[in-house]
Amino acid sequence: MLSPGKAVKVTIYLSEGSTRHGVPVYTSILDFLFYRGVAGATVTKGIAGFGADHHMHSANLIDLADHLPVKIEFIESREKVDSLLNKLQAMAGTGLIEMQETNIAKPARTTKDLEKEQPEHLKIEGHAQLMRIYLNEEDRWNGKPLYKALVEAMRSNDLAGVTVYKGFLGYGSHHQLHGDESIFSLHHGSIMLSTVDTAEKLRAFLPIVDQMVQEGLVTFSDVDIIKYAHRSPDVQQDIQSEAESDKAE
């Protein structure tokens, strides 16, 4: 498995029609990489190009379709690449092999890896904040309902969760009554979004709310929470730190 840090990116350029022992070369190389435990490899096919013989190949030329360029790419550690290079050179034949130093910022993970890393249900308790956003159902943001856009924004900013409530009777700053008996109630109802998270995360999200909510009401309340949820240990630590800070004050 790859780790963050220095690695080598290998690119092998071949002709699609090249064969080795009656099998396409790119297939043989892909099998070789697979069974030698390479983290992953990708084969892409060109639609036009020319090689060392300077013959132009194009997908539009049916008789030359099997001579289109093919590229195999993979990333591995320097030690792994060095152990494979001699065999790859022999398999590539007249093809070109290119190597580049690279840095892995985030290695790919399998679904099983992620499942193993899922935290257990944690009991989170301490001080947090409740944010409520009041707006109208017809309010829009970039062509979509504002409340839906806010939910998407909260999810993308990793807030703990949000619930959307629709009111059935009420009025706002314009003193216009909205309710089930109103002919406008279908699209002019009141909406409330409610979310609980650490004060730090909610305050960091507030500039986005200011940008998106042109007319509405936003409130903050201090809350004490006892919650069971899948949360990472660092989030639990944030809440516990805030609780200890409040006690110190």
Maximum alpha-carbon separation in the chain: 82
Q: Is the pLDDT of residue 97 over 50?
A: yes
CATH code of the region 5-111: 3.30.70.120
Choose the CATH number for 119-248 among 3.50.50.60, 3.30.70.120, 1.10.240.10, 3.90.1200.10: 3.30.70.120
**Could you give the percent of the chain with pLDDT greater than 90?**
49
Which pLDDT band, with edges at 50, 70 and 90, does 28 fall under? very high
SS3 breakdown of the chain: % helix, strand, coil, rounded to 5? Answer: 30, 35, 30
Which pLDDT band, with edges at 50, 70 and 90, does 239 fall under? low
Strand 69-76 vs strand 5-15: parallel, antiparallel, or unpaired? antiparallel
Same topology for domains 5-111 and 119-248, yes or no? Answer: yes
What is the pLDDT, as a whole number, of residue 52?
65
239/12 Cα distance (integer angstroms): 51
pLDDT mean across residues, the chain: 81
What is the pLDDT, as a whole number, of residue 68?
79
Amino acid identity, residue 86? N
Q: Is the pLDDT of residue 182 over 50?
A: no
Report pTM.
0.53
Please report which residue ranges of 78-229 form alpha helices under DSSP H: 78-92, 111-117, 146-156, 199-212
Q: How is the chain split into domains, by residue range?
A: 5-111, 119-248
73/60 Cα distance (integer angstroms): 25
Which pLDDT band, with edges at 50, 70 and 90, does 242 fall under? low
Q: Is the pLDDT of residue 243 over 60?
A: no
Average pLDDT, integer, range 99-120: 76
Closest CA to 45 of 25, 16, 74: 16
What is the pLDDT, as a whole number, of residue 54?
67
Give the containing element (helix H, strand E) for 25.
Answer: helix 25-35
Q: Is the pLDDT of residue 121 over 70?
A: no
* Residue indicated by tokens 């200890």: 244
